[in-house]
Amino acid sequence: MVSNAVLSQVEALREQLNHHNYLYHTLDQPEIADTEYDAIFQQLVRLEAEYPELVVAHSPSQRVGSVPLEGFQQVAHQLPMLSLDNAFSDADVIDFDQRVSALLDTSSSIQYACEPKIDGVAISLLYEQGQLVRAATRGDGLTGEDVTQNVRTIESVPLILRGTGFPEKLEVRGEVYISKSVFTDLNIQQVKKGDNPFANSRNAAAGSLRQLDSRLTANRRLTMYCYSVGLVEGGALPGGHFEILEQLQQWGFRINPLSKVVSGSRQCIAYYEQLGQKRADLNYDIDGIVFKVNGLDLQQQLGMRTRTPRWAVARKFPAEQGLTRLNAVEFQVGRTGAITPVARLEPVQVGGVTISNATLHNFDEIERLDVLIGDTVVIERAGDVIPKIVSVILDRRPENALPILQPETCPACGSDLEKSGSEVALRCVGGLICSAQRKESVRHFASRLAMDIDGLGEKLVGQLIEAGLVENPADLYDLEFDRLIDLERMAPLSANNLLQALNKSKLTSLQRFIYALGIQEVGEATATGLAHHFGDLQRLRIADEETLQAVPDIGPIVAEKVRHFFEQSKNNDVIDRLLESGVRWPDIAGSDQEKPLTGQTWVLTGTLVVSTRAELKRKLQSIGARVSGSVSSKTDCLVAGENAGSKLAKAQALNIKIIDEDELNRILTENKP
C-alpha cells in the first residue's frame, strides 16, 4: 500500500521536472543546472522503481524509451494534414496575396502569420484531458503511423499540458527535427561505430521516429516546434493563428521565436529576405517560409482545395547550385551491400562550402542524367543534404568523355552483384565475407533472434573487427582467451563469459541459423519456412529457384536472393567453417504437412499480457501457422488482446474466428512441437 506521503512526493517531483522541462525546452530559460535536474529525475526513478504501481504514461521518467514494437499501427487523421502550395518568387507571393484579397473581397491589407518552414517531419499529437494519448506521422495526409511510444521520448513534447483552459480533446501539429549541432554529433558517432553517416538531418529525424525500439529514438535527441492545431473538441481557442501559437506555448509547447505577424505581401517578402540572411546561422534547417492568413474566420471563408488550403503558401528558398567537371566515378559498398556510385568532382564552391564529391544514387539515375566522365555538370546543395548532380551541360561535353560502366563484381570483396525485381540498387551478395558489410553481418549473426550470443553487442563487434580478430562470423568461434583480454576494457571475467556464450550458441535451430546468415529479404518468418520445408541445410544450399518458390510465401525475388547467396563459394566456405566449429541443431522431424496449423493464416492484435507478440508469433510458426500483420478474407483466426481495434472489427465483419490469449496459449500447449 502506497502511503499518501510517498504519493505526494512523487507528484511533487513530477511537477518540478515538468516545470523545469518547460523552462528549458519551451522558454529557453533554465533555472537550475543539469546536475540538479538529473538528481531530481533520479529521485523520481528510484521511487517509481520501488512503487511500480505509481508509474503513469505521462511521468517524465517514461521518456527513456521502452521495449521494441512489432510494427506500427495505422492511424486515420480525423482532420486531414494538408500539403501547402509553393511560391518560388516575390511575384508568386504577391499573386497569392492578391488572390486572397479577391476571394475575401477586401482592399484592406491582410494580416499574415509568418513562420520558418522547418525541414523536418510533420507530426500530430492528440491530447485528451490534457494528457498525450497518441502521436502519429503525417503519412499521406489522411493516414499516418502511430509513433506514440517514440514521441514520448522527445523532451520538448509535453506529456501533460500545463495550466488550465485547454479543450477536452486537442490535436496539436508540429515539426519534429534534429538540430544541426546534434546532427553533427550523431554523424561523428555513426563514423566511430563504423556505420555510414546520415545523409541529412531530415532523413535522420524521419528514421528516428520510425524506430521500432523507442530507446534508439530517445538517443537521437529529437525536438519539435508546433505550428498549428487540428481537431478541437470541448473547448475554444483564440481567433487568430498566431494567438493560438502563443496559447500553446503557455500550455507547454515550443513555438518558433522567429514567428511573427505582418501586414500585406511586401512585409511577407521582407520577412522572407530577413530569414534568408539568418538561415545559415540557425541551429536547424529551414527550406522556406510559410505564410498563413492569421484570422481563423478569414481562413474559414477562404476554404480549401482538394489537398491544399487557399489561406496558406510556402515560399521556398532556392537550392544552391554550381558548375564543375566530373573527373571520375567510384563505387562505395554500404553496410547492407548496396553499391552507390560516387562522383569525384573538380572542387567547386557552392553556398560557401567546397564540394568535391556528389552522389549519383544508382545506375538508373546515371542513365536518366545521361552523364559521362568528363562532362560539365550542375551540382546542387540544399541545406545539409549530400550534394547531387542534377543535370549535364551537353553542349560542353568533350570528345574524350567516357561512359560510366557498372562494376561486374563487388569492389570490396569481389563477390557477384545482383539487381532483382523492382529494386534499383546493385547489391553485393557476399554478405558473410564482404569487408564493407562485415560489422553488420557479424552483429546480425550474434543478435538475439539469430545465434543469440549473449554479451556480443555492437560495440564489442566493432572492437573485434578493428583488432583484426574477426573478419566473418566463423571467426567468432576461433576466438581465444589470451587475445580477448588484450582488448580495451576486456577483463578476464568478461572474456570467459563471452567464450561461454559462444560455446552455448553452437546448439541452435536450423531456422535461427538460416536467419543468422543475413541473406537479403530472409527474415524470421522466411527462415522458419525454409527450415521446415527443407528440413536440412544441405538440401537448401543446392536448391534451385523453382524449388525455392515451392516454399509458402517465397516468390521469385526472394528465391533469387537465396540462390545467389548460396552460389557464392566464399559464403559456403564460411558456412562450412561454422559447421566444423561445432554449430549444430536438432533434426527437424517431418515437414509442414504434419504440423497442426499448416496452411492457416493467423493475426495477432491488441495488448497481449502473458507473452510478447514476438514470442507468440514464433510459437505459432513452429506449429505451421503463417502469422500476418493484417486481416483479410484469407485469415483463419484472429487472436484479440486488450484494446483490440480496427483489426477486430474487420475480423467480425468477415466472420473470422476470434479467440483470446488464454485460448491461444491452450492451443499452443496442446500442440507444442
CA-based nearest residue to 291, from 276, 308, 272, 318: 272
d(CA 99, CA 198): 41
Residue 260 annotated in active site: no
Give the list of residues 6+ apart from residue 591 with CB closer than 8 angstroms, or none: 532, 533, 535
- Looking at this protein, which amino acid is placed at residue 208? S
Is 371:391 a contact under the CB 8 Å cutoff?
A: no
The 3-class SS string of 260-323 reads EEEEHHHHHHHHHHHHHHHHHHCCCCEEEEEEEECEHHHHHHHCECCCCECCEEEEECCCEEEE
d(CA 32, CA 519): 51
Is 490:499 a contact under the CB 8 Å cutoff?
A: no
Residue with cell 550458441: 505
Q: Could you give the 3-state DSSP secondary structure of residue 581?
A: coil
Q: What is the dihedral of CA 246, 181, 190, 122, to 10 degrees?
A: 20
Q: In what order do the strands lie in the sheet with 121-128?
A: 131-137, 121-128, 169-177, 223-233
Catalytic hit among 117, 561, 617, 619: 117
Give the list of residues 6+ apart from residue 104 with CB closer than 8 angstroms, or none: 110, 298, 301, 302
Nearest-Å Rg of the Cα atoms of the chain is 29
- Please work out, in degrees rounded to the nearest 5, the angle formed at the alpha carbon of residue 9 by the alpha carbons of 7 and 11: 70
CA-based nearest residue to 621, from 486, 503, 531, 518: 531
Q: How far, CA to CA in Å, does 13 sit from each of 1, 17, 43, 596?
A: 20, 6, 8, 54
* Beta-strand relationship, 312-316 and 85-87: parallel
CA atoms within 13 A on the CB side of 573: 11
d(CA 602, CA 629): 9
Q: Could you give the 3-state DSSP secondary structure of residue 482?
A: helix
Q: 361 — alpha (psi -120 to 50), left (phi > 0) or beta? A: left
Q: Could you give the 3-state DSSP secondary structure of residue 231?
A: strand
The three grid cell numbers given for residue 445, joined into one nine-digit string: 549473426
d(CA 377, CA 396): 9
Q: In what order do the strands lie in the sheet with 111-118?
A: 85-87, 312-316, 286-293, 111-118, 260-263
Q: Report DSSP state, residue 391.
A: E
Give the list of residues 6+ apart from residue 493 with CB closer than 8 angstroms, or none: none
d(CA 14, CA 653): 44
Residue with cell 553487442: 457
Q: Report DSSP state, residue 526.
A: H
The alpha carbon dihedral of 464, 466, 467, 470 has a sign of positive
Q: How far, CA to CA in Å, does 567 sit from each of 424, 436, 460, 540?
A: 22, 20, 31, 11
Q: Could you give the 3-state DSSP secondary structure of residue 447?
A: coil
Positions annotated as catalytic residues are: 117
